[in-house]
Structure 1
């Protein structure tokens, strides 16, 4: 059980944060990250503790919310419940909960507005410096119009299909026949389709894409073994990566800088609050001891 300044924390908050953090990591790496579960759990618990400390501080600083601010927000919350299909009886049974959630939201809005009051919108110099420092974040990814030949070999006797693709590759490299013609003849796709159309770079960690986007226009790939199949791809057309122009990114970069500044302020305050807080227990379950 996790307790922060005498407030018992719902373990579901940590579980939700853990699932989000793990999902984001797996989307980036394109591989399962189960071996990092302990790391993600600790990160999730720290994130929840910081959020609770900030919410407690918001309530301490802004305990009273003026009725003219609270009432419209509360009425809007009730309408949203109704629009989402809740009956009036259900809404009435949760009225206290809705009221407390509305107050908490208004306190946090007031709290953060005061915290961020002195933040200044970045000028052109700051925007340009950020753009130059993070240029790799601002580009149009490359794309390839790819043709594809696939074989599904017997895994115990792969040489027959592998040697066939070797021969296809040699013929194309020698300029004797076009890849499109040979792919149509030899593909084992059910519909005989060889045109993958335009593929934009999304997952460079994927073995197929890491090779595909290294090809020049008119170039054939080496043989790729992936998911129990053998592949050849041909770069029919190529669009190289392009740097996005600074002028088109001003608003996006300004928003990013402001967001990072706000997050830094919240992290710094959470760190100060943590130093004074009484935090007991943990939301992370300890593994059962292994019997000897």
Structure 2
């Protein structure tokens, strides 16, 4: 039986503590025998767990943190705290990894793995809202805010809370095969594989006044998404050279003016796919892509899925 230890410290997100037990604990062999044993490990005096909308409550992990060393896989859920994890726990994670234990994190649990140094030089993911902050805090880690989960062999990282389901089902698939993963997915009513990445869930950022004169240019562009707008035309509207315009956009948004415009067109297409029954060709013209083919190309490149698949997943009602 595959032994799994879930790390629970102060600030742990309650749902993510329970998730590995629910998903991995549902995996069974052909004769109905459980394939995983999941233990929650933490301080003997108990920890404060958090649940959105329900505040905090006390949780007493039934197993000591030293059992991280005897597991086959250690799962580190999100912890809603900026405090550094005790060095004794970080050392246990390092020792467990050195002995061959597989490590996996869910959401901001990646921050705990980053504190160990074990993610240095590796590609990892976390919730898209926290990816930039963690990338600044741990520059040696290559955070990818687009991935639902990343399997780097002996260390796996997952994005937000529900991505923990994807990550656990992936571990079942890796450990016991696709058929067992599919059956486990059926038991918990979850897709055994989810297309696309986190970009499908990223919210449009508001245009703030702090970016100064660029704000007016951005709003002007949003009013002309359906029009064929060139870089020269944008620069003329902003009354600066194309080089200055590109430099300002890169400084404030991290992308060029044309790339930013395409992103806004994709956001607009998302809105139309979610809220209405317009055809893909009509949406493509309304959002400035010109053709359904161009819309599909940009959609796939940025969101990792198709307009039709996106509509099926996110359309209201």
Same fold (TM over 0.5): no
Normalising by structure 2, report the TM-score: 0.23
Tell which has more relative contact order, 1 or 2 (C-alpha 8 A, sep 6+).
1
Structure number with bigger Rg: 1
Q: What's the TM-score once normalised by structure 1's chain length?
A: 0.24
